[in-house]
Amino acid sequence: MCGYECNCCSAQNSASVQYWVHTIYSDSELSMSVTDVSKYLGADGLMIGRVVAGVYLLCISMCGQQLASTWQEDVRRYAEAKDWSAAMAIVDCEINRAPRDMDVRAWRARVLMWSGKLAEAELEYHVLITAAPNDPDNWLGLATLYSREGRTTEALQALDRAVDLDPKRSDIHVARARTLRALGSQDGARLEFNRTLDLDPTNAEGRAGLGSLRGEPRHEVRVGVNTDLFNFTDANQDEGLTLISRWTPEWGTLVAFDGYHWGGTEAEKFVGSLTRKFPRVGALTVGGAAAHDNGVIPKDEWFFDYDQGFRLHRTRFLHGLEIVYGQHWYWYTTARILTINETMLFYLPRDWTWSLGLIEARSHFLAAGAEWRPSGITRLGFPIANWEQRRLGGNVFFAVGTENFAQVNQIGEFSSQTFGGGLRLQLTARQDVTGFADYQKRTQDRTESSFGFTYGIRF
């Protein structure tokens, strides 16, 4: 017997009861016993005995049927509790009872996928499709697996096969619509959601899907302010307005205007960039900035960044990896700066993130030679709380020798250590507020304290 009392164990228990009854009483002995009882209890007593025996046998029958029909519910209950070992024990027990039952094998594939064992689940689904190629549920399950792995094109191909096998399944059309939406095909997704509602006018997922297509934001506006306090000079203040637009799934733009107030001197800067996303290759951003500098910020800037992300499926600790490489040129009135930036972002379980960034900066002053100086920063992000649509997250960071080169006081020959952190509050699906504060300790007993916040809205 297995550890869980599933159908195979229930059948053994039922057989044991029957064996026990027939071992104690043979058929003739049982009839003789009934006759003997009738002599002592009379006809009424015999009727009562028969009723009790009938109820007993009925209870045994219903108990067996109940056990036979609830193992799927038990699997779901353990899966919701993320008790994968218990869920898999039930499924394996059912497979031992009926090794050729493809429905049980399908449940095994689902549990493997829910528990994050995607490679094993994929093998299981391929076995199912080979054994039952005309079952749309198997193709739908494989498509769901592909979607979790980020293999959206393969997911769509599996869903196409599922639709061909059963074109009247609303759940398949919903899954296909979501996949088309992820691929950027808004018209195709809209058509699939409408087909879902044609088949089932009360389908909530279909209505929500249409609503998401109509209301999907393409633009984001952010406003922010920042203050820098020093122990050796007057405070700096700056504010900014940024518009981020995603015109298509492949193309996006950013335009920003920043104002600076440093030591009684005013300066303004305009920034613009263009981003192109390439399927399976990454994203490339190029841009520049021009400023009315007044000698306190760079007069001109040019930059580019390349961003590539990877999903990791064979490890539980690391879910994904993102690599960013960029170069940035700053032209001051009295200096030329080139920075080379490398950042690695690690996606950890439970929505935690950890990033590590390195900067190599080449500073060239007009009255002196050029010099390379390294710096680095590490940041840990984590969730704090959720309230329906509202989410609160935070981060802490530590930097050594970090210079942001946005203002003239951020370049030069000094070393520093910076400690800081921030919070981000998601107010609604389209609004958020972020805030930060940090403390920087420089050489020559100089310090800088900074704090600020931004507000973003998407439409």
Q: What CATH number did the domain enclosing 229 receive?
A: 2.40.160.60
Cβ atoms of 175 and 160 closer than 8 Å: no
For residue 160, what are the contacts with CB-CB under 8 A and spacing of at least 6? Answer: 176
**Does the residue 408 lie in any domain?**
yes
Q: What is the mean pLDDT of residues 189-193?
A: 93
pLDDT of residue 23: 38
Q: Higher-confidence residue: 304 or 69?
A: 304
At 205-214, the pLDDT tens digits run 998 888 878 7
**Does the residue 303 lie in any domain?**
yes
**Average of per-residue pLDDT values in the chain:** 84
pLDDT of residue 35: 44
**Does the residue 145 lie in any domain?**
no
Residue 174 pLDDT more than 60?
yes
**Does the residue 78 lie in any domain?**
no
Give the pair of three-digit tokens for residue 437. 């504060």
Q: What is the mean pLDDT of residues 35-43?
A: 45
Q: What is the mean pLDDT of residues 445-451?
A: 94
Domain count, the chain: 2
Q: Which of 24, 39, 69 is the last residue of a domain?
A: 69
Q: Higher-confidence residue: 3 or 28?
A: 3
Q: What is the mean pLDDT of residues 59-76?
A: 60
Calpha distance 428→263 (Å, rounded) = 38
**Does the residue 101 lie in any domain?**
no
Calpha distance 147→153 (Å, rounded) = 9
Q: What is the mean pLDDT of residues 167-188?
A: 92
Domain residues for 238?
222-458
Q: What whole-number percentage of the chain has pLDDT above 90?
A: 58
26 band by pLDDT with thresholds 50, 70 and 90: very low
315 band by pLDDT with thresholds 50, 70 and 90: confident
Q: Which of 69, 84, 109 is the last residue of a domain?
A: 69
Q: Higher-confidence residue: 57 or 316?
A: 316
186 band by pLDDT with thresholds 50, 70 and 90: confident
Q: What is the mean pLDDT of residues 275-302?
A: 94
pLDDT of residue 354: 97
**Does the residue 24 lie in any domain?**
yes
Please return the burial class of 227, using the count of CB atoms within 10 Å of its CB with bins 0-12, 13-18 and 19+: middle
At 236-249, the pLDDT tens digits run 999 999 999 999 88
Calpha distance 454→459 (Å, rounded) = 17
Residue 66 pLDDT more than 50?
no
CA-based angle 378:447:401, to the nearest 5? 35
Residue 56 pLDDT more than 70?
no
Q: What whole-number percentage of the chain has pLDDT above 70?
A: 83
Cβ atoms of 53 and 61 closer than 8 Å: no
At 103-147, the pLDDT tens digits run 888 999 999 999 989 999 999 999 999 999 999 999 999 999 999
**Does the residue 45 lie in any domain?**
yes
Residue 43 pLDDT more than 80?
no
β-strand partners of 269: 258, 291
**Does the residue 148 lie in any domain?**
no
65 band by pLDDT with thresholds 50, 70 and 90: very low
Residues 24-59, buried b or exposed e (16+ Cβ, 10 A)?
A: eeeeeeeeeeeeeeeeeeeeeebeeeeeeeeeeeee
Q: What is the mean pLDDT of residues 46-58?
A: 48
Q: Which of 43, 69, 95 is the last residue of a domain?
A: 69
364 band by pLDDT with thresholds 50, 70 and 90: confident
Residue 391 pLDDT more than 50?
yes
Residue 150 pLDDT more than 50?
yes
